[in-house]
């Protein structure tokens, strides 16, 4: 392999017939890092109001606490393959496994929004490294026969971490204060760093590779993804393209990402190997991963929003409801490699995504009485489906990928899954807003003073206020009108949430069908399987 070509592949020996204990320890340590990095995407979501109050910022600005982390993570994931060659795989992952908890702890001491945004962005930049490197270790340290087991462990990170993130964050915030959610990374990260230091082979610095780096691709990608992520996170709040800020950022994103794609398809040694998408299974697998990322992160975003806005749940109560989408997977996911040995992975993936879709369609008939208990069965169904998704889909995606391309494939797959999640939360936020307005208009057209039941309801509510301390009849009538308006708004909001679950279900149905168009991987498929 030439010096330049080495920039796109991790220089790790190909796995032998059976992974050693040392290699398994390294892989498991890497999984800790991936789990913590993905957990931290969601851990602040249930606690944003508390954090905003703690650092003295408004509700709208608080969204940047999550946005900055996602920007750092999405930008760094594709850079990992290149920088891990420059600084060596061992050195690069160790440095970031130490920086990640340190930056997390620093967030707990932030006293203003600007400092929090910077620290969260840097934490995301460190955490984003841990996700593809854990994935790469599965494909380079484990033989094909053992890769399904490794992928099942990775699936725990991808699906369980987002589900239990709000649970952990909500519990810690309600009982010990929001600062504690930034301290939980310390002990797992210390264990990870020690294990990796003892098990990974030392590699040389290759600073000379920096001269051959795809710097034009790096710059355009970083600018484009940062602008796109900001547009996705802030667009709905600012009414999208009616905002000059969003319009300018959208233009920057389109120009930068178009230039990035052109560069990656024309340079000899691209930062991101977009040509891998020409491979049938990889292209289909990435598409399915994007749609699954949309659904996975989107559902974790929508359900807490519903419970908080409609049912007025606090952070801990929201976390308790979401826990039932995560805990069952701890039992189910380890069984998936056994299923993959007996059944076609395409059918396992199809079934898992279909069950996930069904769980979303179970939530399209929400009502004012739908609260935590009513989500128990849909969440269990969703957990069953999610447990059967990531491992087989990853096996399909990596079938036919050479070990030399493992890091590039890992970076591209994980970046696009997270980007799919970002698109999902932004799209669903917009769908919720627009559909709430639509339903509010429809209901409002029916609730008029021309109808006897409306006048009767207003009279009853007016009398209620008059008998409960309001002496002025005009004021009581005004309060009755406001109360009726609130009921209409709440019902429209509930119907809007129902529509968002329908959107997620439809996209998952599309992903399930797409899975069937992939070629059947060989048993024990993974990198290197044809």
Give the model confidence (pLDDT) of 7-63 as tens digits.
Answer: 334 444 444 567 788 999 999 999 999 999 888 877 776 677 778 777 876 655 666
Distance CA 517, CA 523 (A): 18
- pLDDT tens track, the chain, 530 positions: 333 333 334 444 444 567 788 999 999 999 999 999 888 877 776 677 778 777 876 655 666 777 788 888 888 888 888 888 888 989 999 999 999 999 999 998 988 888 888 999 899 989 989 988 888 888 888 888 888 888 888 888 877 787 777 778 878 888 888 889 999 989 999 999 999 999 998 888 888 888 877 888 889 988 988 888 788 777 877 778 888 989 999 999 999 999 999 998 888 888 788 888 888 889 999 999 999 989 988 888 888 888 888 888 877 788 788 777 777 887 888 888 888 888 899 999 999 999 999 999 999 999 888 888 889 999 999 989 988 888 888 888 888 777 777 777 877 887 788 788 878 877 888 888 889 889 888 887 777 777 777 788 888 888 888 887 777 788 888 888 888 878 888 889 999 999 999 999 999 999 999 999 988 876 544 444 43
Phi-psi region of 518 (alpha: psi -120 to 50; beta: other; left: phi over 0): beta
Give backbone dihedrals phi and psi of 109, rounded to 5 degrees, phi first.
-100, 5
Whether this model's pTM surpasses 0.85: no
- Residue 29: the pLDDT is 93
CA nearest to 150, candidates 298, 288, 25, 2: 25
Q: What angle do CA 136, 422, 106 make, to 5 degrees?
A: 75
CA nearest to 39, candidates 149, 145, 164, 174: 164
- Tokens standing for residue 377: 């069965």
Q: For every residue of 120-169, which 3-state class applies, written as one string?
A: HHHHHHHHHHHHHHHHHHHHHHCCCCCHHHHHHHHHHHHHHHHHHHHHHH
Residue found under tokens 């039941």: 453
Query: Over the stretch 182-215, which tens digit does the pLDDT of each residue have?
Result: 999 899 999 999 999 999 988 888 888 888 778 8
């Amino acid at each position: 392999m030439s010096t330049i070509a080495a920039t796109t592949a991790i220089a790790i020996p190909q796995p032998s017939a059976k992974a050693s204990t040392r290699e398994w320890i390294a892989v498991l340590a890497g999984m800790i890092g991936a789990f913590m990095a993905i957990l931290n995407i969601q851990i602040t979501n249930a606690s944003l109001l508390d954090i905003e109050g703690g650092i003295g910022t408004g509700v709208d600005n608080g969204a940047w606490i999550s946005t900055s982390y996602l920007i750092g993570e999405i930008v760094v994931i594709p850079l990992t393959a290149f920088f891990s060659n420059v600084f060596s795989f061992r050195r690069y992952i160790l440095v970031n496994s130490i920086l990640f908890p340190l930056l997390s702890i620093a967030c707990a001491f932030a006293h203003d929004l600007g400092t929090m945004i910077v620290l969260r962005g840097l934490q995301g930049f460190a955490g984003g490294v841990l996700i593809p490197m854990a994935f790469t270790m599965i494909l380079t340290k484990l033989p094909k026969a053992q890769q399904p087991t490794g992928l099942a462990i990775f699936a725990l990170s991808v699906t369980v971490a987002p589900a239990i993130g709000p649970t952990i964050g909500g519990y810690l915030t309600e009982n010990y204060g929001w600062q504690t959610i930034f301290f939980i990374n310390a002990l797992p990260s210390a264990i990870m760093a020690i294990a990796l230091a003892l098990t990974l082979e030392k590699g040389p610095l290759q600073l000379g590779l920096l001269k051959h780096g795809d710097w034009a691709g790096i710059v355009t990608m970083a600018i484009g993804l940062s602008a796109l992520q900001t547009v996705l996170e802030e667009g709905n709040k600012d009414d999208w393209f009616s905002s000059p800020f969003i319009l300018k950022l959208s233009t920057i994103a389109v120009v930068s990402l178009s230039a990035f794609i052109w560069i990656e398809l024309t340079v000899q040694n691209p930062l991101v190997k977009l040509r891998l998408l020409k491979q049938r299974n990889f292209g289909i697998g990435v598409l399915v991963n994007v749609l699954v990322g949309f659904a996975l992160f989107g559902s974790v975003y929508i359900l807490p929003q519903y419970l908080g806005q409609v049912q007025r749940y606090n952070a801990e109560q929201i976390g308790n409801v979401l826990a039932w989408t995560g805990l069952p997977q701890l039992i189910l996911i380890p069984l998936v490699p056994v299923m993959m040995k007996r059944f076609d992975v395409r059918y396992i993936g199809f079934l898992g995504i279909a069950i996930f879709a069904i769980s979303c369609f179970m939530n399209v008939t929400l009502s004012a009485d739908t609260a935590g208990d009513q989500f128990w069965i849909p969440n269990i169904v969703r957990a069953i489906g999610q447990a059967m998704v990531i491992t087989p889909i990853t096996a399909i995606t990596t079938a036919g990928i050479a070990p030399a391309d493992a890091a590039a494939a890992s970076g591209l797959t994980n970046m696009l899954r997270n980007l799919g999640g970002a698109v999902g939360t932004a799209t669903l936020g917009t769908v919720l807003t627009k559909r709430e307005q639509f339903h509010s208009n429809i209901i409002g057209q029916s609730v008029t003073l021309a109808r006897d039941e409306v006048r009767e309801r207003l009279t009853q509510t007016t009398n209620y206020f008059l008998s409960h301390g309001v002496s002025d009849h005009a004021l009581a009538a005004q309060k009755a009108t406001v109360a009726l308006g609130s009921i209409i708004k709440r019902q429209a909001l509930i119907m809007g949430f129902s529509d968002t679950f329908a959107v997620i279900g439809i996209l998952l149905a599309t992903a399930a069908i797409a899975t069937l168009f992939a070629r059947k991987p060989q048993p024990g498929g993974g990198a290197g399987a044809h």
